[in-house]
Each structure stands twice: as C-alpha cells, then as structure tokens.
Amino acid sequence: MTDRIEVDSTGVARAADACRIAGMNAGLELNRLLGALTREAVETAAGHDDYGRQITDGWVNSGAGSFTLYGKGIEEHLIARGDQMSSCGENAKATDDDAALQVRAADLGLTETATGWTMTPSQET
C-alpha cells in the first residue's frame, strides 16, 4: 500500500482555538491592567503642583492613553492568527482527503484522466 502523510486536523483545530482564546484573554487582561493607568488617576496621585503637572504632561506625551488600543490590537492579531490557522487546517484536510483518494486509486491501479478513471498500465516488462 502507498504511504502518505495524514494531517492532524484535530490538533490544528485545537491550536487555532488556543490562539484565539489567548488573544481574547490577552486583550482583556491588558485592558484590565492598563485600565488603572488613566490620566485622572495620574493627576490625582500627582497632585496639582508643578511636579504634578510635569507628571500629567509626561503621561499625555507618552501616548499611554492609547495603551488600550495596543491591547485591542494584540487581541485582534491573535484571533486573526487563530482564524488563519483554522483556514490552513481546512486546506490541509482537503489536500489530505484528495491525497487519500489518489492513494486509494493508486492502490487499485487506477489513474485519473480528463474523462474519468482508467486502469494504470502495468510497469512489468
């Protein structure tokens, strides 16, 4: 019988799901951690003197207010990567199914032609 490689479709699906879950968790956790880092929190902690204004200005200039966008970006990237893995898994499964058909046909001595299947000529001389 002809040997062939078989795709671990279940493993690919598990990895894709794990990637999507990691993305959702990363986005939620990052937003939770950075949620406390609001401008108001910095202003309250810094007070209203010149030093406090320097801290507030530093906060604004750092772009830290966009941290939640970074969290969302990481989440979206990982979820998209999981979707891509699923698509690759589906393509691999389809290729594997086609390969299985070709292997079975070869084992039966058949060759696919433009008009259908025909017996493969014998290689014996």
Percentage of the chain lying above the pLDDT 70 cut: 71
What pLDDT does 65 receive?
A: 67
Q: Tell me the domain boundaries of the chain.
A: 10-118
Asked which of 21-35, 80-94, 103-117 is least confident by mean pLDDT, the reply is 103-117
pLDDT for residue 43: 67
With beta carbons less than 8 A apart as the criterion, state whether 56 and 39 touch.
yes
Nearest to 26 by CA among 64, 82, 97, 65: 82
Q: Give residue 117's Cα distance to chain centre.
A: 39
